[in-house]
Amino acid sequence: MVIIGGGFGGLYVAKSLGSAPLSVTVIDRRNFHLFQPLLYQVATGGLSPGEIASPLRVVLKNNRNTEVLLGEVTDIDPARRQVVTNQGEIPYDTLIVATGATHHYFGNPQWESLAPGLKTVEDATEIRSRVLSAFEQAERETDPERRRAWLNFVIVGAGPTGVELAGALGEIANDTLRHDFRRIDPREAQILLVEGESRVLPSFPADLSAKAEQQLIALGVRTLAGTRVTSIDSLGVTVQTGDREERIATRTVLWAAGVRASSLGKVLAARAAAPLDRAGRVLVAPDLTLPGHPEIFAIGDLASFTHQGGKPLPGVAPVAMQQGRYVAALVRRRVNGEAAPAPFHYVNKGNLATVGRNKAVAEFGSLHISGFLAWFVWVFVHLMYLVEFDNRLLVFTEWVYNYFTHNRGARLITGQTTGPAINTDAHT
């Protein structure tokens, strides 16, 4: 069996099959599993990358039937049942493709360098450097208009990630950095959260969207719902609300809007006639296989799965984990010669989004909560799911310390080994 991708989907397949009489190979470009739900905390200096990443070999150490291979998959050949990688070909009997999703700029690929998204560790440290450097630039800038532009931050997309980023930026400006500068008052920073739909957190019930918006406003974030971004350049963004256009001078734009399935979706379409949705996700059968290919599964953000009569499942970690466990159980039944299981059914245990310290919203069926209690549940759930115990202990230590001191210790501008850490043209 070959699993492509060591995210939540792929990892949960492998972990659930640790004792099965199978030979499993997990292929990933990176040597670590990344706990993406906390990546925004790296981007905002609250955690270090090492605290939310665990080496795949460590996570799978006790699976004696599992090999980890670092490599890039370039093609899949279902006829010969081979995965083609930059390390050579790997044969499979069963293939699980779980390569996730990447940013999507809605036909404006030139925006990518202007408005980085948040998918990888490198994205997070890049965003961290841009945000911190913007305050440094503002401190040095004497022209009021240019200083203003350095203190304006625009976040595109008000799903959970956009809301988390905006809330964290609000806390950084109003709290963390408050006494750090001598010439600027970081509280003058303006954080703008732009959302195309009619409210923030559009995937949540309307009452929780309203709560989240109140929490954002309390952190100094201005929300612009029903608003599209029409242009981004190095000096600002133009947004359109209905017929009204607004130009916002800013040097820092963060992208939390569109995602597109990984390019292996296209490979599966070309090689195995997999049907794709508009976002490039594989429309999978009820048992998560590709139509006509019972030996190939697509799960997680790469897959589009719809319960009868429902909406496609969202691209969140719990979906990927449950799909991973389902595929593992199905494969185990096949190995044992048992009947196929019932179709995959996602059990939604609840939806959580955090805005900041003591601020979050949570939906558990008809139970809607917000504020401290929702935030406490959020902290608890995320600590429980952190894959490796040492990360959990470290993250807990850091959170407790940050909570009581209002500090964010990992505020490093890194990535450039020579020359100035900052220069005026660095972001243009």
Instruction: Show the beta-strand stretches assigned E in 5-127.
Output: 24-28, 32-34, 53-55, 66-70, 73-77, 82-85, 88-91, 95-97, 101-104
- Give the total of residues touching its own copies (CB under 8 A): 61
Interacting residues with its own copies between 369 and 388 (CB under 8 A)? 388
Q: Which stretch binds its own copies (CB under 8 A): 130-138, 193-201, 246-254, 277-285?
A: 130-138
CB closer to its own copies, 104 vs 411: 411
CB 316 within 8 A of CB 113: no
Tokens at residue 21, please? 């009489």
CB of 10 to its own copies, least distance (A): 16
394 in contact with its own copies (CB under 8 A): yes
Q: Which of 143, 145, 179, 339 binds its own copies (CB under 8 A)?
A: 179
Return the number of the residue (377 or 426) whose C-beta is nearest its own copies.
426
CB nearer its own copies, residue 125 or residue 223: 125
* 242, 310, 337, 419: which one binds its own copies (CB under 8 A): 419
- Residue 67 binds its own copies (CB under 8 A): yes
Largest CA distance in the chain: 74
Rounded CA separation 28/8 (Å): 12
* Binding letters toward its own copies, positions 307-336, x by CB under 8 A: ------------------------------
For 220-264, strand residue ranges (E) read 221-224, 227-233, 236-241, 244-249, 252-255, 258-261
Among the candidate windows 44-52, 209-217, 289-297, 363-371, which touches its own copies by CB under 8 A?
Answer: 44-52
Type of residue found at 410: A
> Could you say whether residue 412 binds its own copies (CB under 8 A)?
yes
Spacing of C-alpha 249 from chain mean position: 27
DSSP state at residue 234: T
Q: Which stretch binds its own copies (CB under 8 A): 9-17, 145-153, 204-212, 415-423?
A: 415-423
CB-based burial of residue 88 (10 Å sphere; 0-12 exposed, 13-18 middle, 19+ buried)? Answer: exposed
- Of residues 345-374, which lie at the interface with its own copies (CB under 8 A)? none
Whole-number Å distance between alpha carbons of 238 and 247: 4
Name which position in 250, 288, 410, 427 contacts its own copies (CB under 8 A). Answer: 410
Q: How far is the CB of 394 from its own copies (least distance, A)?
A: 6
Separation CA 108–CA 112 (nearest Å):
8
**Residue 403 Cβ vs its own copies, minimum distance, rounded to whole Å:** 11
**27 strand-pairing partners:** 4, 69
Q: Residue from 50, 202, 236, 371 that binds its own copies (CB under 8 A)?
A: 50
The nearer residue to its own copies, 140 or 247, going by C-beta atoms, is 140
Angle between helices 317-335 and 8-16 (to 10 degrees): 30
Q: Which of 19, 75, 87, 406 binds its own copies (CB under 8 A)?
A: 87
Determine contact, residues 166/182, Cβ cutoff 8 Å. no
- Choose between 181 and 372: whose C-beta lies nearer to its own copies: 181
Three-point CA angle 163, 166, 170, nearest 5°:
135
Supply the minimum distance, in Å, between the C-beta of residue 61 and its own copies: 5
- Binding of its own copies at residue 140 (CB under 8 A)? yes
User: Is 107 one of the binding residues for its own copies (CB under 8 A)?
Assistant: no
Residue 188 annotated to the active site: no
Question: What is the per-residue DSSP string for 102-153?
Answer: EEE-TT-GGGTTTS---SSHHHHHHHHHHHHHHHHHHHH--SHHHHHHHTEE
From 164, 171, 195, 213, the catalytic residue: 164
Separation of alpha carbons 53 and 292, rounded Å: 36
CB of 212 to its own copies, least distance (A): 29
Q: Is residue 61 part of the contact set for its own copies (CB under 8 A)?
A: yes
Using DSSP's 3-state secondary structure scheme, residue 241 falls into strand
Q: Which stretch binds its own copies (CB under 8 A): 42-50, 194-202, 264-272, 378-386?
A: 42-50
Residues that bind its own copies (CB under 8 A): 29-32, 47-51, 53-55, 57-58, 61, 67, 69-72, 86-87, 120-123, 132-133, 136, 140, 177, 179-183, 388, 390-391, 393-394, 397-398, 401-402, 405, 407, 409-417, 419-423
List residues with catalytic annotation. Answer: 164
